[in-house]
């Protein structure tokens, strides 16, 4: 038995070091959260000054006091000028779009994280559960190789290699901004994250140098191994985070009396703030049996989901149920961005076969739209390595 166990361990080590697992799952999470944050920023564009800017009730001075206490990070406190705010907000919109498209994802993912942290930490009292999920996933995505497929980076990797001029320029610009921020900012809340940014910046430069001058060398192989290990660990953390969200939500619901008697969903359906479609909410709230079934079903699905990961079929069924539940929350309760964030997080558990078929369907639709032809196009791959996933 021992030789067999040794071989299994060796295969597992080889797998997690030589392959970035779940390329389609990490790609759909990247696209989902990029789209969620982009659409949120665009919708709140007319109200951006009230939410995060100089016209908000949470003033710049109050923000400084808060950051001094909780040691959070936000570049919006580097200056109280309106021009600086507009620049940061514009960078947030642009980085969200580029994150969704997968352009220079290693660098853009850091900008995406900076934008999310800066806006949310500037006014923490205007967020909700969906914002918390975006906050966490923006950090985790920095550590993943989430542009292996369905990205401009993957498309560029399939073309004939040539001198990379954009990468060094982008690296230099970001280094200049980081250097300026290091000397300008005097708040004590962001020292740790500035050190992290310098580490990421240096790692990006090291990667480019090795890839440019020693593409097939042992240092390049070592960098790939480290990147794969980091990606796979971050993907596991994302999955664990989703399970933790549902498990804690379900167990807290069990302790509530309204969830125990099956009437919890009735009350938000009667609140004006959560009824964008009063007639539809009224119809649903009028059915006592339906409200009770949905209340108990919500708790059962959330508590059971982490345990269904050991059974692929049951997991896929509950995954569909949870996604439909969040879609219903978006419509009935008027929480579209919370629902989009949760669906994007749930997507990490989608089966690879389904995602491949979805990519092929989107590629055919794109072809018909842009070229007027129905010929299927190959789904771009970012690597010649076999496609593997952590979950089926």
- pLDDT tens track of the chain, all 392 residues? 567 777 787 888 888 888 999 999 999 999 999 999 999 999 999 999 999 988 888 888 888 888 888 888 888 988 888 999 999 999 999 999 999 999 999 999 999 999 999 999 998 888 888 899 999 999 999 999 999 999 999 998 888 677 778 888 888 899 998 888 887 654 445 677 788 889 989 998 898 888 888 887 888 889 999 999 999 999 999 999 999 999 999 999 999 899 999 999 999 988 888 888 989 888 988 888 999 999 999 999 999 999 998 899 999 999 999 999 999 999 999 999 999 999 999 999 999 999 999 999 988 888 888 876 544 555 445 444 444 555 44
Are 209 and 317 members of one domain? no
348 in Cβ contact with 239 (< 8 Å): yes
On whether both 237 and 298 belong to a single domain, the answer is: no
Query: Same domain, yes or no, for 234 and 258?
Result: no
- Residue 149, classed as helix, strand or coil, is strand
Q: Distance (Å, rounded) from C-alpha 85 to C-alpha 44?
A: 14
Same domain, 148 and 283: no
Range of the domain at 345: 250-371
pTM above 0.85, yes or no: yes
Please indicate, yes or no, if residue 132 is contained in any of the structural domains: yes
State which of 246, 278, 296 marks the end of a domain: 246
The answer on 297 and 188 residing in a single domain is no
At 334, list the tokens. Answer: 């008027």
30: closest CA among 196, 240, 235?
235
Residue 76 falls inside a structural domain: yes
**Same domain flag for 236 and 290:** no
Q: Domain boundary residue among 222, 246, 270?
A: 246
Count of domains in the chain? 2
CA angle, corner 121, sides to 115 and 125, nearest 5?
A: 130
296 and 348 in a single domain? The answer is yes
Q: Do the domain assignments include residue 146?
A: yes
> Domain check: are 264 and 284 in the same one?
yes
What are the tokens at 369? 């739209």
In angstroms, the CA 238 to CA 242 distance is: 6
Segment 105-110 long-range contacts (CB within 8 Å, at least 24 positions apart):
105/30, 105/146, 105/147, 105/151, 105/153, 106/204, 106/207, 107/170, 107/171, 107/174, 107/204, 109/30, 109/141, 109/142, 109/146, 110/142, 110/174, 110/197, 110/200
């Amino acid at each position: 038995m021992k030789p067999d166990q040794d071989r299994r361990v060796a295969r597992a080590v080889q797998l997690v070091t030589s392959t970035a697992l779940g390329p389609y799952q990490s790609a759909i999470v990247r696209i989902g959260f990029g789209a969620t944050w982009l659409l949120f920023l665009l919708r709140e564009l007319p109200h951006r000054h009230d939410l995060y800017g100089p016209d908000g009730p949470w003033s710049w001075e109050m923000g400084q006091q808060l950051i001094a206490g909780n040691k959070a990070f936000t570049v919006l406190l580097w200056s109280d000028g309106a021009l600086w705010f507009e620049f940061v907000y514009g960078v947030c919109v642009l980085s969200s779009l580029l994150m969704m498209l997968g352009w220079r994802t290693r660098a853009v993912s850091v900008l995406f994280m900076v934008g999310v942290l800066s806006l949310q930490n500037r006014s923490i009292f205007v967020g909700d559960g969906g914002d918390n999920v975006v906050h966490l996933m923006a950090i985790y995505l920095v550590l993943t190789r989430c542009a292996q497929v369905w990205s401009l980076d993957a498309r560029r990797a399939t073309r004939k290699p040539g001198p990379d001029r954009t990468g060094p320029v982008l690296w230099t610009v970001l280094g200049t901004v980081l250097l300026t921020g290091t000397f300008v900012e005097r708040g004590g809340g962001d020292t740790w994250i500035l050190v992290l940014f310098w580490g990421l910046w240096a790692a990006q430069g090291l990667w480019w140098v090795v890839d440019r001058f020693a593409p097939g060398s042992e240092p390049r192989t070592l960098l790939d191994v480290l990147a794969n290990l980091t990606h796979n660990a971050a993907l596991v953390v994302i999955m664990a985070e989703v399970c933790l969200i549902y498990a804690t939500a379900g167990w807290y619901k069990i302790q509530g009396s309204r969830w125990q008697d099956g009437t919890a969903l009735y009350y938000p359906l009667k609140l004006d703030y959560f009824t964008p479609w009063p007639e539809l909410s009224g119809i649903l709230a009028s059915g006592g049996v339906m409200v009770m079934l949905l209340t108990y079903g919500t708790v059962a699905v959330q508590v059971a989901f982490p345990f269904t990961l050991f059974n692929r079929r049951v997991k896929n069924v509950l995954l569909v149920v949870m996604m439909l539940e969040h879609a219903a929350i978006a419509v009935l309760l008027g929480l579209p961005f919370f629902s989009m964030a949760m669906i994007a997080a749930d997507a990490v558990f989608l089966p690879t076969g389904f995602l491949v078929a979805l990519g092929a369907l989107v590629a055919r639709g794109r072809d018909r739209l842009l070229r007027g032809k129905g010929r299927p196009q190959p789904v771009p791959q970012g690597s010649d390595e076999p496609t593997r996933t952590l979950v089926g």
